[in-house]
Homo-oligomer: A and B are copies of this chain.
Amino acid sequence: MDLDERKLKILQAVVRNYLETGEPVGSRTISKYTDLNLSSATIRNEMSDLEELGYIIQPHTSAGRIPTDKGYRLYVDHMVVEKIQEMEDIKNKLDKKADRIELLLQQVAKLLAVNTNYTSMVSKPHYRHKKVKFIQLSEVEEDQLLAVIVIEGNIVKNKIIGLNVSLTKEMTLKLNIVLNTFLQGLDLTEINMALIQQMKEQAGEYSEVIGCILDAIAEAISEEDNLEIYTSGATNIFKYPELSDASKASELLYTFEEKEELTKLINDANEWDDNQNHGIQVYIGDEAPLQVMKDCSMVTATYEIEKGVYGKIGIVGPKRMDYEKVVGTLKTLMVQLDDIFKNKT
């Protein structure tokens, strides 16, 4: 059942040619395109076999062949020689002031989309079970309190709390101390009713404030748990005729606009695989866990922002995407990202 050398070469030629042109590939083309020195008739026989084995298919009789998903899969698994992509050093591209991770990731997405001409998506890593690191209450105005909550990973959340009483300086200080001593180092699951009750007692007449602040904390932490995804270059799909008819384009773009569905993709991809490959995975057509992507391929990679905290990057394009370039680009990017994140911490 294994393919012999010659069949492999022919399959490879079919895929390569199809990736380039987007047109079904005929036997005569292969006969000239390869160094096999075989006549088109021979190629035809071989192609007929390949079709029977399910690697290629004719869109209609008397047309050339195009790869099936199975054909692409074989190609991706065994024949991709990733082209090293010399990408401008992204550090220069990235806005200096993009200290906020969201901005940085958004820019990475954009960079990828521009470089590849496909659609890119980047998920914000989420820190599971994040712990409270630091809380600071300050009086902004008479009846307004600003609560600043820092959680692990130096994620900062603010909440302005309106009061119907005004706090004394001492009281604010006291509340600060109470909150910090009670909550530092805890995550959401560890903050229970008993604890809250204790804190409220300490706060005396300001127990109400405690309630507000706890709400803010809960919100801050859970907000961070919402998997956020940044996308870019969604309209690039119009560059590929096979995706740009109204109904397909509409569905795809809607998915990218809403983003919810995309979390499935992100969650599906394997975790970091330790083999220095940045968990690069290729999904072809139906392999992706999303119906709308049945005519697309997707390449994903995993980046590590700090020990144990991962995010994903994905590139979505037509099945006939330039896998070699995409994989190359992603790898280059991952190396650069590693660099950036390492120097950051």
Contact = CB atoms under 8 A, between A and B. Distances in A.
A245 B219 CA distance: 43
Contact of A150 (B146, B156, B250, B253): B146
A48 interface: no
Contacts of A138: 134, 136, 148
A144 interface: yes
Contacts of A246: 238, 244-246, 249
Nearest to A222: B97
Nearest to A99: B159
Given A97-B219, A257-B234, A146 B144 contact: no
A156 B246 CA distance: 43
Contacts of A336: none
Contacts of A232: 257
Contacts of A235: 250, 253-254, 257
A133 interface: yes
Interface string A231-273: 0101100100000111101100110010000000000000000
B146 A140 contact: no
A158 interface: yes
Contact of A148 (B136, B234, B245): B136
B160 A146 contact: no
Interface residues of A, number: 30
Contacts of A62: none
For A134, A159, A232, A235, the residue with the greatest tally of chain B CB atoms inside 10 Å of its CB is A235
Contacts of A136: 136, 138, 146, 148
A180 to B, nearest CB: 10
A75 B156 CA distance: 52
A61 interface: no
Interface in A116-140: 133-134, 136, 138, 140
A232 B254 CA distance: 10
A154 interface: yes
B133 A140 contact: yes
Contact of A158 (B148, B234, B245): B148
A140 B134 contact: yes
For A99, A219, A244, A257, the residue with the greatest tally of chain B CB atoms inside 10 Å of its CB is A257
Nearest to A238: B250
A238 B251 CA distance: 10
A136 B138 CA distance: 8
A63 to B, nearest CB: 24
A55 B250 CA distance: 34
26 contacts: A99-B159, A133-B140, A134-B140, A134-B146, A136-B138, A136-B146, A140-B150, A140-B154, A146-B156, A148-B148, A148-B156, A148-B158, A156-B160, A158-B158, A232-B257, A234-B253, A234-B257, A235-B253, A235-B257, A238-B247, A238-B249, A244-B246, A244-B250, A245-B246, A246-B246, A246-B249
Q: Which 7 A-B pairs have the closest CB atoms?
A: A238-B250, A156-B158, A235-B254, A244-B246, A235-B253, A136-B138, A148-B148
